[in-house]
Amino acid sequence: MVGFISSTANELLTGGSNLKFLKIAASAAELSSFKSNPSFLGKFAELNKPKTQNTFRYDTEYYTQTLDHFSFSDLPTFQQRYLISTDHWQGPEKMSPIFFYCGNEGDIEWFAANTGFVWEIAPQFGAMVVFPEHRYYGKSMPYGSREKAYGNAASLSYLTAEQALADFAVLLTDLKQNLSAEACPVVLFGGSYGGMLAAWMRLKYPHIAIGALASSAPILQFENIVPPETFYDIVSNDFRRESVSCFDYIKKSWEAIEAEGRKANGLLHLTKIFHLCENLNSTQDLSDWLSSAYSYLAMVDYPYPSDFLMPLPANPIKEVCRKIDNHPRETSVLERIFSGVSIYYNFTGAVDCFDLGDDPHGMSGWDWQACTEMVMPMSSSQYTSMFPAYDFNYSSYQEECFKDYDVKPRPRWINTQFGGHDLKTALKTSGSNIIFSNGLLDPWSGGSVLQNVSETIVAVVTKQGAHHIDLRAATNDDPDWLLEQRTLEIKLIKEWIDSYYQEKTASVSM
């Protein structure tokens, strides 16, 4: 499964070259602010294909989709890709379920390959599996091509969560009708942004899906709900938890980098220490490169070796900190840091030098979404975070979005549309059948729902879990708590389906 990362305006400044209509990409030198919000989904999700052989069998289909569900403007339709498997489906007669993964900001094949859980439990449920692609990602491009879809603010304007949910609703309704499967219960799955979509879809379209497993879904990571320091505090705590000295070295490193950069030949020296392929232009570039490694590490801090974004050992933060800590006393902070991040950037040892430009900060669909409705304010506290201190500044965020995308964010809209502060209160009496699963190592967990809301809207929280680990395929190294988590999730999903059947039987026999 795939994590997800919000982009802040700061980050947007570092990318942008992909997009033709970007006016001016501010040079990194102009920036003094903290800009390490990770954004791996951009390039990873859109460019990467499954690295390993995809063992899940499915057909690839396309659905002619409405571009704007909420107006009747005369717009072209587009082809939405979806992956479908009916191999284990027991058909409409048995009202066998439909497992529907809410595709997020990337190529759907990548999500399908990284969401083993859904494929693995489908046979025991006799379930159909559908993985629809999110509009404007992968091969589901309005206007016929990525180039045209991403051409300008007008062509991008239909890239919203509400439109994506409506795509899912329309596709599901049509699929069910074509397969005479109107009575078959739909269970939604999603991780990260996809988990947000799954939860929101269950709330907004309760007549279409009977429940949702929303894994690592930070639906509260918006304006004035959770403190903006949350994300970086969690990353920092993940490091401190492994080693206080490691945390301290990292926290000290920023000033060390700055100090070095101010020296004559300092940038050249940094270039050498960090084995960069090209000469460093600014210390900010280096800090960003390091910061994003830490954030990604926190997200994929899995208890077994994985190759999600980068090949990594089990418990990678522990390994990073071991590297940082285990040096002769006289080793400089910068050398320690380099040895640590090498775990992330060069675990295989195959990299001779590092290209900061390779950092997946490219302008992506998510950047647009972050500049329109997905405004997730993030700050870094000078007291509790190991990152450079940074206060989220909405004015400059807005300014940069306008400069880069010709668009003005609507930071309050998501809360108005999906519920912000009052969501949990509302959910107590409205809504049911949602699992919010979170691992507390995951920096996104702070923006999610961590306590049971009602009898049927429940939080499944694991202390040792990272970003939607529950949705990943089973491995031989899965710890007990993960096996238990999945067993619980299967049990809850089964209860939803059983209670749906009871309801159906009751209404038929009436």
**Where does this chain bind its own copies (CB under 8 A)?**
66, 68-74, 153-154, 156-158, 160, 162-163, 166, 169-170, 173, 182, 203-208, 372-373, 406-407, 410, 412-413, 415-423, 425-433, 456, 499, 503-504, 507
Q: Using CA atoms, how far apart are residues 504 and 510, in angstroms rounded to an integer?
A: 10
Cβ-based nearer residue to its own copies, 143 or 232: 143
- 74 classed as catalytic: no
β-bridge mates for residue 435, sequence order: 213, 458
**Encoding tokens for residue 464?**
């040792």
Per-residue CA distances from 88 to 91, 128, 134 (Å): 9, 6, 24
**Contact by Cβ (8 Å): 219, 196:** yes
Angle value at C-alpha 342, between 362 and 242, nearest 5 degrees: 105
Strand stretches in 409-492, DSSP E: 434-439, 457-462
Contacts of 324 (CB under 8 A, 6+ apart): 243, 245, 246, 249, 250, 336, 337, 339, 340
**Contact by Cβ (8 Å): 197, 165:** yes
**Encoding tokens for residue 297?**
């590490």
**Encoding tokens for residue 105?**
């900001």
Q: Which of 315, 334, 314 is nearest to 324 (CA)?
A: 334
Cβ-based nearer residue to its own copies, 158 or 338: 158
- 422 classed as catalytic: no
**Contact by Cβ (8 Å): 227, 243:** no
Output b/e per residue, 234-263; b: 16+ Cβ within 10 A. bbbbbbbebbeebbbbbbebbebbeebbee
| Per-residue three-class SS string for 270-281 | HHHHCCECCCCC
In whole angstroms, how close is the CB of 356 to its own copies at the nearest point? 31
Q: Three-state SS for 46?
A: helix
**Encoding tokens for residue 55?**
């063992």
Q: Three-state SS for 474?
A: coil
In whole angstroms, how close is the CB of 173 to its own copies at the nearest point? 5
Q: Using CA atoms, how far apart are residues 185 and 403, in angstroms rounded to an integer?
A: 45
Catalytic residue among 167, 233, 442, 470: 442
- 470 classed as catalytic: no
Contacts of 135 (CB under 8 A, 6+ apart): 65, 78, 80, 142, 158, 159, 163, 164, 167
**Encoding tokens for residue 77?**
């339709």
Q: Using CA atoms, how far apart are residues 137 and 105, in angstroms rounded to an integer?
A: 6
Catalytic residue among 292, 301, 448, 467: 467
Q: Using CA atoms, how far apart are residues 246 and 64, in angstroms rounded to an integer?
A: 53
In whole angstroms, how close is the CB of 493 to its own copies at the nearest point? 15
CA 435 remoteness from chain centre: 17
CA 119 remoteness from chain centre: 20
In whole angstroms, how close is the CB of 80 to its own copies at the nearest point? 15
Q: Looking at the annotation, which residues are catalytic? A: 192, 442, 467
